[in-house]
Chain A
Amino acid sequence: MNIEDAELIKDFVIESQEHLGDIEKDFLTMELQGAEIDLDLVNHVFRAIHSIKGAAGFLGLPVLESLAHREEEVLNKIRNREVIPTVEVVSTLLSATDGLKELLDCIEVSNDMDVSEKIAALDRILSGSSESNDTEAANPSDDSQRDNEQLVKESEATLDQATAAVETLVNEDSTPSPSDATASNDDTAPSPVATPAPKPTPKPTKQVEAAKSPSSLSSDSSPAETSIRVDVGLLDTLMNQVGELVLARNQMLQFAERFDDNEYNTTSQRLNLITSELQEGVMKTRMQPIGNVWSKFPRLVRDLAQICEKEVRIEMQGKETELDKTIIEAIKDPLTHLVRNTVDHGIESPDVREAYGKDREGCLMLRAFHEGGQVNIEICDDGAGLNVDRIRTKAIEKSVITEQQAQSMDEQEICNLIFAPGFSTAEKVSNVSGRGVGMDVVKTNIEKIGGTLDLESHSGLGTTVRIKIPLTLAIIPALLVKCAENRFAIPQVNLMELVRLEGEQATSKIDWIQNAPVYRLRGQLLPLVDLRNILGKAPKERADNVESEVINIVVLRADDQQFGLIVESINDTEEIVVKPLSAQIKELPVYSGATILGDGSVALILDVLGVAQRGRVLQSSGSRNPGSQDDSSNAEAERLQSLLVLGIGQKRQVAMHMSQVARLEQVPDHMIEEANGQSVIQYRGKILPLIDMASVLGVPRSRTVTPGDDGEASTELASELTNQVVVYSEDGRSFGLVVDRIIDIVEADIDLVESTSGNGLLGSAIIQDRVIDLLDLPTVIQSAGHRLA
């Protein structure tokens, strides 16, 4: 083998890994079908192994070749119906396939690795099939059981084995022929199972079947010719360049605004559109179906179930749901952990299940679907559900919560405690799921990529873990703020709301508790951090007169807790392209990245958790959770709903749930256009239909500055030239609700009196001493002549 073959070997490893990647599920199908084999399927697997064997021979990889050869022989026997793919046989085949993968992973030393046990196991099948009632009949199952356990342990062992093999065999002939390799391996590492002495290299039994040519029956669903292979590095480069293009486009748009040249503006609009489409297209190239991650779960579940002596069936829905490659990578481990946990703890043993009148076989269901620009992943089981009492006891025992806190927590909250750091329910640490990495690591990893994790458990019926994650990490919506002459971007996933305190309020509304500033936000104490402090700048000088004093608070959420970040000014939200930080500032925990803004300047992206930790506003996990609620009891807080109160016409006030509000915008009259008989505006590159709430509710509009019933704030928001628009999104479609005033955000315990008129209202309730109607948005949109997609 000469040097230029290094490239061939690399190519061989890639091709072989592709072959092996999708045959695991075929093995499992074979196992299910048992004696009723599907020839196409067996042929498919056979060809994969056969190709590896053929190429390995060329490349001088005898160990790999001999293992592939044995596996091929067994498959050939299955194909010829001489061997039935029983659980034991399939286990041995899977274990051999793992062996091939290991050899491919360290291809340079593969010739010195020891796979004699795996070869011996395959040989036993090969010899066993001809001398059916062998004394070794029991052995393969023991062996496969052990192989499974080995598989479930981390693969360190095999690496050690490899290194050891390199050491012991270093003086031996480096390129032995296939049979030599087997022989020498048998010599140096006499495997414990080899004691009943199976023939070390049984002659492949000759099959004379001139009449039958099984391979001629093959018809294969090979991937379509319309796809090509592209290096991920190239895609990353493309993504980066598109990012740059987006930035250049943003600069050009800002530039265009200053010119009144029609032709120039048209061209820049066109550039704008094309760039957006290109960006979307490149993003798509990085998308991968989540099935890529799931595909290894059937095997995992099967092996775990065997070890735990359970019967588990795995079902999948939405395999084709696509996610950015980096996110796929990031969720792989957390998902694996959750699946492991479900089989180990979630699903009961068959006998227990039967006693409860359930199927002996438990069901593990994986579901994935898109919803509102996010991907939802659910892991459901029909097992016993979480043992709330035990979790409560454990949590108190491990001082995750105090006994007092435990009493005020409902079942749901108790269940979520399993994600708290330092919590593990397993009475005994099994080698399946208890290995020191708790569920808190799963939660942290999901949150690291901007995702959330939620758990629902019903005693005796099962558990569902719900994960929501963003589609991509490369481009994110962010809020831009200014502080100490610098601009910073805050990822919108962390953003809860913005609070502006003016004049007198700026000093009176901020309390000090033990030298730490807090703001009382709707009865809840919100710890504050000044961004200037975090940046190491001197505190801002006080304004000369109280009137011009302004404090902007960005309410953020980190690690399930809220805090307020004081900034100098709040700019706008923007879709930003995330760039990694240079090595010099990478170590600073308060920044998570950088971006280039529309005007070409650079802004650092704040890492909200890092800022919170630096500002010491996070409570330790022990006293977290309901404790942060000020005075008000927990149950009451449960019933409180966040509502946005809107003014329509002279007096009318309506409210909608904050969760329904995507954004609040001020739209000047001249931006409103007509399309298809409707008022629309161009909004973030899309057409946003406007719905005039005054006409929906049948009240005359009152856009002129009215001394609102609620006093101060509302008056200045409504100016003659602009429209207040509430952007509402549902099922991927957005609408702009035109209202006259945006009055307040309130948290209220609503006692709804249901509406009888049905004209877009759910009903009325008393909120802050006023009767306010609650909007039924889908009906409002329908009555305005739109349809939700």
Chain B
Amino acid sequence: MKVLIVDDSRVIRNMIGRIMKTFGYETHEAGNGVEGLQQLAEIGVMDLILVDWNMPEMNGLEFIKAVRADSTHANTPMIMVTTESEMDRMALAFMAGVNEYIMKPFTEENIGSKMEILGIGTAV
């Protein structure tokens, strides 16, 4: 199982990556939307994409729109990982095509339950 983590903070990518690895995922990372799209082009369809909102180059919202515009990734579950200050803009994210959102900071359980909602498997 493959997950793509798109976040401009190396630290946060590491932390999320660590959690996802315990779920048995192979992790791929990108520092912004543009890099995220490059990863998708190189590696192909993911089992899950976790994306931050606020990033340089291409932000999370633009990234989600770009991913959904490509039919190959039309069904890839995407979770927006964000902080509360963008909560009021979540409607925008859902409109753009995100399946769930989760607030930073989150725990293993938080994200596990979100994944359950989406019906995404974990290896544990």
Contacts and interface: CB of A to CB of B under 8 A. Distances in A.
A215 interface: yes
Nearest to A206: B88
A1 to B, nearest CB: 11
Q: A15, A44, A76, A204 — which one has the most chain B CB atoms within 10 A of its CB?
A: A15
Contacts of B10: 11, 15
Interface string B97-124: 0000000111000000000000000000
Interface in B71-118: 83, 85, 88-89, 91-92, 104-106
B83 A57 contact: yes
A357 B87 CA distance: 57
B104 A57 contact: yes
A208 B89 CA distance: 8
Contacts of B91: 210
Interface string A48-61: 00110111011100
Contacts of B56: 44, 47, 218-220, 222
A204 to B, nearest CB: 7
B85 A210 contact: no
A195 interface: no
Given A208-B88, A213-B92, A54 B61 contact: no
Contacts of B59: 215-216, 218
Interface of B: 8-12, 14-15, 31-32, 52-57, 59, 61-62, 83, 85, 88-89, 91-92, 104-106
A207 B61 contact: no
B104 A58 contact: yes
A47 to B, nearest CB: 6
Contact of B83 (A53, A59, A213, A219): A53
A11 B106 CA distance: 19
Interface of A: 8, 11-12, 15, 44, 46-47, 50-51, 53-55, 57-59, 72-73, 76, 204, 206-208, 210, 213, 215-216, 218-220, 222
A59 B106 CA distance: 10
Nearest to A229: B10
A57 B85 contact: no
Given A213-B61, A215-B54, A222-B57, A58 B15 contact: yes
Given A53-B83, A213-B89, A58 B57 contact: no
Contacts of A8: 11, 14-15
Nearest to A7: B14
A203 B14 CA distance: 31
Given A47-B56, A207-B88, A210-B91, A58 B12 contact: yes
A73 B86 CA distance: 11
B96 to A, nearest CB: 10
Given A55-B12, A215-B59, A50 B88 contact: no
Q: B89, B104, B105 — which one has the most chain A CB atoms within 10 A of its CB?
A: B105
Nearest to B91: A210
Nearest to A69: B85
Contacts of A55: 9, 11-12, 15
Contact of B8 (A12, A51, A53, A72): A51
Given A15-B11, A76-B85, A219 B57 contact: yes
A684 to B, nearest CB: 44
List the 8 closest A-B pairs by CB distance, nearest first.
A220-B56, A57-B105, A58-B105, A12-B11, A51-B9, A55-B11, A54-B104, A215-B59
A219 B31 CA distance: 14
A62 B70 CA distance: 40
Contact of A216 (B8, B9, B62, B105): B62
Contact of A54 (B9, B14, B32, B92): B9
B11 A210 contact: no
Given A55-B9, A213-B92, A215-B54, 18 more contacts: A8-B11, A15-B10, A46-B54, A51-B8, A51-B54, A55-B12, A57-B105, A58-B15, A58-B105, A58-B106, A210-B89, A210-B91, A213-B89, A215-B53, A218-B59, A219-B56, A222-B31, A222-B57
B54 A11 contact: no
Contacts of A51: 8-9, 12, 54
A319 to B, nearest CB: 23
Nearest to A4: B18
